[in-house]
Chains A and B, each alone.
Chain A
Amino acid sequence: MSYLAGEDMRGGYGAADILRGCAIAVDRGEIAVIVGPNGAGKSTAMRALFGMLRLRRGRVLLDGRDIGRLTPRERVRAGMAFVPQTDNVFTTMTVQENLEMGAFLRRDDISESMEEIFGLFPVLREKRRQQAGTLSGGQRQQAAIGRALMTRPSVLMLDEPTAGVSPIVMDELFDRLLEIRRMGIAILMVEQNARRALAIADRGFVLVNGGNRFTDTGHALLANPEVGRAFLGG
């Protein structure tokens, strides 16, 4: 049994289901990546796992506990953190305030966590008194991930963390994610840059039409000619 698992998830926003029985799972200290064509339900699957979408059927388990009835806020409390694709920082607040807001639910001393994040993303320390709205795209993603990590989550979910950043910045971000993985956090992300993401993934899920087309390790998926042809552009 994986640490976070969505089983047979079915549901959508209107009458028609977007998710049609998809299953996602990730363990602590692992990176799991969801790839697939546009409209396959990748982001919807993430939202369902986080409780931002009500499932018609299926279960979501966190550490063996059914969390299907928890609100997103309660899931944050339970140790899940989510980095949306856009609007993922408080633009009118300083970088430091963004991190403080990430730790909103914590009542203990947060300075250690903040140091940890400044260690992970040194540029945030430099810019900590600057408004997050003035950061570059890559710095903004770092601030967004930093905010999410301030809750000391056991699961970190990222919706296209490298959207709109340069290839160099993308490499950097992936390196940081590997470091975060070493902290024993379960990382689940949706990625457009499927090849690069699967290369660092312990598990990969290829979603098509709201269901799992392929589920394997990242390397096995990259090596699979069928996956390569249909979903990774040859």
Chain B
Amino acid sequence: MIVDVANALVLLCNFVVVPAIAYGSQLALGALGITLVFGVLRFANFSHGDLMALGTMVTILATWQLRRWGVGAGPLPTALLALPFGALVAVVASLAVDRSVFRFYRVRRSGPVVLTVVSVGVMFVMNGVVRFVIGPDDRSFADGARYLMTAGEFKRMTGLDEGLAIRSSQVLTVFVAVASVATLFWFLQRTRMGKSMRAYADNEDLALLSGVDPDRVVLVTWTITAVLATVAGTLYGLDKSFQPFTYLQLLLPMFAAAIVGGIGQPLGAIAGGFLVAFSEVAITYAYKKFLRYLLPEHLHPDGLVQLLSTDYKFSVSFAILVAVLLWRPTGLFRGRVL
């Protein structure tokens, strides 16, 4: 009996908890970028997913080049070494886009809806560039040690029937996400520049009256956003695989995460990222085997006991989004209303 419960829990950890933690970290990093742009620049940036794709693409190209030169990072993926290049290009690209596109509308004090629609245009252009350069196909660029612990090792260790596999990309994702978030919060809470960003997000006019330079704030915001996007995109690509189209689709769960948490609130973006990830994974998981361990034999289910096919996983984000906007538009952490 105890063994059955243990098997059920291990099964759940292996297929729901561990993947959702990794996926949640990736969403949280993406949602942070969305929430920062919304807080400081005051518009919903639809090009964020493709900024992620762009940064990741450059990281992949750099990874391939490094490998050609025979450079690697041992057990860690080579992509970690290539990440700074990807981030740099993403920063330059987002600053160039801001200079040539967004600034025009900011100076005219266009409404947030106008800027959002403009960002949709930017999204299509960036998506086109990425597909043009690296192609629309699936690209795998993960290398190094694949597993920290395989299912077989776990089974031998514990003697259970179910195995718990932990991929190195998952552990790496969590580590990098925690480090990025900690750095970001330290920056926002403790540094002069970070505080001036919060001040600008809080009350633009008063920030100007205090002598805050709006151009610097915008520059730093895009820089942080582009770095976060590249980190999130690379981690997602290492964990799953890279395909430009997938990154466009990631926009929905990332927005859902940012809004659920309360848009403009960095802490909310993180909470939202995990909430969306856990809901998505938990609702699309087939519980047949899990229930077989826990229920007496005559109650064993015949079907898959899957609430929703994985093909429809994005509808989970949609449902969460709609529910939050209906019942608590400010989100969990009392952000602004879109």
On whether the two chains bind one another, the answer is yes
Stretch at the interface among A22-30, A70-78, A202-210, A213-221: A70-78
Q: How distant is the Cα of A88 from the Cα of B209 in the complex, in angstroms?
A: 10
Q: Are A87 and B205 in contact (CB under 8 A)?
A: yes
B231-262 residues with Cβ-Cβ distance < 8 A to A are none
Q: Are A147 and B210 in contact (CB under 8 A)?
A: yes
Q: How distant is the Cα of A147 from the Cα of B211 in the complex, in angstroms?
A: 12
**Total count of chain A residues near the partner, CB < 8 A:** 23
Would you mind naming 7 contact pairs between A and B with Cβ atoms under 8 Å apart? Answer: A72-B209, A77-B211, A87-B205, A90-B207, A101-B196, A101-B199, A101-B207
Task: Mark B residues whose CB is within 8 Å of A.
Answer: 192, 195-196, 198-199, 202-203, 205-213
Q: Are B202 and A105 in contact (CB under 8 A)?
A: no
Q: How distant is the Cα of A102 from the Cα of B213 in the complex, in angstroms?
A: 13
Q: Are B212 and A90 in contact (CB under 8 A)?
A: no
Q: A77-B211, A102-B210 are in contact. List 12 more A-B contacts (CB 8 A).
A: A72-B208, A81-B209, A89-B203, A92-B202, A97-B195, A97-B199, A101-B212, A104-B199, A104-B211, A105-B210, A147-B210, A151-B210
Q: Are B192 and A90 in contact (CB under 8 A)?
A: no
| Closest chain A CB from B186 CB (angstroms) | 15
Contacts of B202 in A (CB 8 A): 90-93
Q: Are A76 and B206 in contact (CB under 8 A)?
A: no
Task: Mark A residues whose CB is within 8 Å of B.
Answer: 72-73, 76-77, 81-82, 84, 87-93, 97, 100-102, 104-105, 147-148, 151
Contacts of B210 in A (CB 8 A): 76, 101-102, 104-105, 147, 151
Q: How distant is the Cα of A101 from the Cα of B209 in the complex, in angstroms?
A: 10
Q: Are A90 and B203 in contact (CB under 8 A)?
A: yes
Q: How distant is the Cα of A126 from the Cα of B32 in the complex, in angstroms?
A: 33
Contacts of A73 in B (CB 8 A): 208, 211, 213
Q: How distant is the Cα of A101 from the Cα of B198 in the complex, in angstroms?
A: 10
Q: Are A104 and B203 in contact (CB under 8 A)?
A: no
